[in-house]
Every structure is written in structure tokens, then in C-alpha cells.
Amino acid sequence: MNDLDGKHIVLGLTGGIACYKSAELCRALTKAGATVQVVMTAAAEQFITPITMQALSQRVVYGSQWDAREPNNMPHINLSREADAILIAPCSADFMARLVQGRADELLSLLCLARPLETVPLLIAPAMNREMWAHPATQRNLKQLELDGATVFGVGQGDQACGETGDGRMLEPQELLLDVISFFQPKVLKGHHVLVTAGPTYEAIDPVRGITNLSSGKMGFAIACAAREAGADVTLVAGPVGLPTPRGVNRVDIKSARDMLSAVQTHVDRATIFVATAAVADWRTGNAADQKIKKDGSGATPVLSFVENPDILAAVAQSPRGQSGALFCVGFAAESHDLLANAQAKRLRKGVPLLVGNIGPATFGQDDNALLLVDADGTQEMARASKLSLARKLIASIATRTRASAQN
Ligand code: C5P
């Protein structure tokens, strides 16, 4: 199952050097399962040929409202009615102005105007020189496009083809792909702030050695991504992992359990949902050395003592907001056996409304997982699937629960 299976996207190209990125974007969209119908303005054809876009989309490219290939001679109607979304990438300053004015003298602006507003969303990836982007006329047009119901994906920052540096680059194809995928996810957590912990913690023995565990952080990162896709503001407190930050997520990197606790305390007051997926070390060394412990050749081994770490989830769940339900807390349990019994016991011990069990050795480092949701009413199994698709289901389930508890 691909993220864009069944989606049909009209990809509109307008005049800009970023058209070279649209070739890659077209490929990325089709790889993700979408069918793509490319429509190009005359200016776009100055930058990249329709042949290239036809080869990548496997469909004839349209460029004129007078194209007689459509039996009814109305490409602007036919193309817009078939689409699940129209994505203009790159969208030039001129094309933004045309959209704002409702111009209809060439195919792409004509079909944007002719699209059914309720069912065919318009997505815009602007691309232009930084002065053009910053100009009050462009910023005014951008606001008007949003008021008219378009989704504007924003711009990147950096070196521009003109030699200047600043805002206005088109987002990279992979970023746009993620924005399109995210756009299609139901916005079930709009207005929520979700705080997620993920990954292992690292407890120092001395400045060069420490104790950690095999958690990859992938499940927690997938949950942060799914929460963001669902429209929430998301803060991700991450232990030492090499994973890229999910798009649009505010990430706080920490090392030890005590760092994680203080990062959580900093952000938890704003949160309405707390999901603790981190594999927090149960103990830290009680006698961590300030300097590297040296081997002295005598065969003597260092003696480590241990101190129990704070239980972050239990502390948050037992706080007044956790207790009142203003903050919905979700715990995870990575077990090696007796998943149901262990998860049920852990839910009560931590004092959380929802505990999610998984088999640790079967999921650590993997891209897929299987979940067992345990709450006061019973259990629900989520069969083995990718961590992102499980995360989306879990987020939907959390959204239903928070809606229900808000009504009580
Ligand atoms: O007690 P155990 O580590 O099995 O509990 C797992 C759950 O508690 C996870 O949600 C984990 O993130 C959280 N936890 C925590 N702080 C700890 C230990 C676990 O937040 N010190």
C-alpha cells in the first residue's frame, strides 16, 4: 500500500527554473502511487520539455485550452473533474497573480478557475527570486490565495539560480511529496499539541562511555509524523538516534533520562496529548566519572553503582492535568513475552488511559511493527504493518478517545 494509491493529481508547471525539480517531483508522486496528469504553461515549456514530463508521467501533456484531443474539446473541464488535487509546482509570481485575478486565457489558469471548489483542492508550491517573493504584491496575492481556499506549501531558503541567496526557492521534490501526502491525511488532531518522547536514552559512565539500548526511535518518529499530518503542533523529544526530523515537527534532542524529563517538563504544559514511546534507561550510573576511567594494567575492573531514573510517563500521568484528562497520556510497553498481561499491568502501574504493547525484539530497528492497544474497556490488535501506517491508525484512535473524553 503506497501513500498516494488511488490519487489522481494534475501537476501544473509554470515558468521558472524550478521546473527542473518538477521532473523529479512527478516521478516521486507516481512512485508513491498517484497518477499524474501534467499541464504546462507556455512559459514552463521554455524551461523543460513536455516530452520529458510525458515520459515521466506516462501521459500526454496538455498545454493549450484549444487542444482538440479531448472529444468534447474541453480539456479544462475534463482534466479538473478527474483530479483529487491540482498541484502547481513551480508556481511563479505571475501565475499567483493570475490565480488571484481569476484569469482564464490559457489552459492551466482556466482549469484552476473551472475546478469544483469543494472537491478539487488547489495546492501551490511557489518558486521565485527572493525580491519577487518578498514584494508586497506577492505577499498580498499569497494571502488572497489562502483566503480563496488554496493551500500554499511555502518556500525554501538558500542559493537561487539568479545568484542571490534568500527565501523563494521551490521546496525540494521529497519535501513536496511529504506535504502532498500529509495534505490528504484527515486533520483529526487540529488544535492539539502533541508531545512525543522517542528513542533510547544514554547514561554516561565517563566522558567517552555510556549505557544505552537498542531502541531505534522509529515508532516514536512515525507517531510524531502522523500527529503532524493529522494537523497537530508536535514536539518530539528524541534520544540519540540518527533519524531525520519528521517534516513540520519541533525536535528537541536529549541524551540522558534526566535531560528527557526536563525537556518534557518544559513542553508539557502546552500539550494536550503525551505519547511516551522512548525506551528510557531504568537506571543511570551513580558514580559517573568526570574523566575517562583508565585501564591501569593491574586487571582491576571498575565498579559501577546504579541509581533509578525518574519515571517520566508516570510523573506526567500523575500530574493534575494528566489526572483531570486535560492531558491525554499514552504509554508504550516493549515486552519479550506475555504482552497482554504485561501491558495491562503496566497501564495500571503508570496510571494512563491507554497503553500500547509491542514485542520489543520483533520491532527494534525494524520499519514495521504490530501493536496491542489496552485501555480500561479491553484490547484492540493492530496487525503487522509499517510503523507509519500503524502510527496513523493509533493517532486516529487517540483522536477518537480525546473527543470522547472532551464530551464527558
Ligand atoms: O516501565 P517501562 O519502561 O516498561 O515503561 C514503558 C513506558 O514508560 C514507555 O511509555 C516509556 O516511554 C515510559 N517510561 C518513562 N520513563 C521511564 C521509564 C519508562 O517515561 N523512566
CB neighbourhood size of 349 (10 A): 13
Q: Which of 19, 91, 162, 329 is catalytic?
A: 162
Q: Which residue has the higher pLDDT, 79 or 240?
A: 240
* DSSP H or E segment with residue 81: helix 75-82
145/205 same-domain check: no
Element (H, E) at 252: strand 250-253
Whole-number pLDDT of residue 405:
77
Q: How far apart are the first and last CA of the chain?
A: 37
Q: Is position 3 within any domain?
A: no
Does the pLDDT of residue 406 top 80, yes or no?
Answer: no
Q: Is residue 111 part of a domain?
A: yes
Longest Cα–Cα distance of the chain, Å, equals: 92
- Out of 125, 156, 184, a domain closes at 184
- Contacts by residues 245-252 (CB-CB < 8 Å, ≥ 24 positions apart): 246/221, 247/175, 247/178, 247/179, 247/182, 248/182, 249/224, 249/225
Are residues 394 and 277 located together in one domain of the fold? yes
Query: Residue 404: is its pLDDT beyond 90?
Result: no
- Looking at 154, 184, 214, which one is the last position of a domain? 184
Cα distance between residue 218 and residue 387, in whole Å? 7
State the helix-helix crossing angle for 107-114 and 75-82, rounded to 10 degrees. Answer: 60
Cα distance between residue 205 and residue 207, in whole Å: 7
Interval between CA 345 and ligand 1 midpoint (Å): 13
Share of the chain above pLDDT 70, in %: 100
User: Please, which pLDDT band fits residue 75 given cuts at 50, 70 and 90?
Assistant: confident
Q: Judge if 284 and 176 occupy the same domain.
A: no
Give yes or no: residues 79 and 129 share one domain: yes
From the CA of 312, how far away is ligand 1's center (Å)? 7
Statement to judge: residues 157 and 205 lie in one domain: no
Confidence band, pLDDT 50/70/90 cuts, at residue 1: confident
- Pocket probe for ligand 1: among 201, 214, 313, the residue whose CB has the most ligand atoms within 8 Å is 313
Instruction: Kindly report the CATH number assigned to the domain that includes residue 222.
Output: 3.40.50.10300
Ligand 1 interacting residues, C-beta cut-off 6 A: 197, 257, 276-278, 280, 309-313, 331-333, 346, 350
Ligand 1 centroid vs 389 CA: distance in angstroms? 23
Tell me the CATH number at 74: 3.40.50.1950
pLDDT tens figures, 235-260: 999 999 999 999 999 999 999 999 99
- Indicate whether 62 and 197 sit together in one domain: no
**Any domain includes 2:** no
- Are 17 and 34 contained in the same domain? yes
Residue 308, judged by CB atoms within 10 A of its CB (0-12, 13-18, 19+), counts as exposed
The reply to whether 225 belongs to the active site is no
Residues 230 and 370 in one domain: yes
∠ CA 174-178-183, nearest 5°, is 145
Predicted confidence (pLDDT) at residue 295 exceeds the cutoff of 80: yes
Tell whether 343 and 215 lie within a shared domain: yes
Res 407: pLDDT: 73
The answer to whether residue 320 is domain-embedded is: yes
pTM across the whole model: 0.94
Burial of 251: CB neighbours in 10 Å, binned 0-12, 13-18, 19+: middle
Considering only CA atoms, which residue is closest to atom 2 of ligand 1?
Answer: 333
Same domain, 160 and 305: no
54 inside domain: yes
Q: Specify if 204 maps to a domain.
A: yes
The count of domains in the chain is 2
Give residue 214 CA to ligand 1 midpoint distance, Å: 15
Residue 388, domain extent: 193-292+299-407
Contacts of 290 (CB under 8 A, 6+ apart): 206, 207
Which domain-ending residue is among 184, 206, 225? 184
Q: Can you give the length of the chain in residues?
A: 408
Same domain, 331 and 393: yes
- Judge if 309 and 329 occupy the same domain: yes
Locus of grid cell 501506517:
389
Average pLDDT over residues 46-63: 98
pLDDT at 383: 96
- Domain membership of residue 1 (yes or no) is no
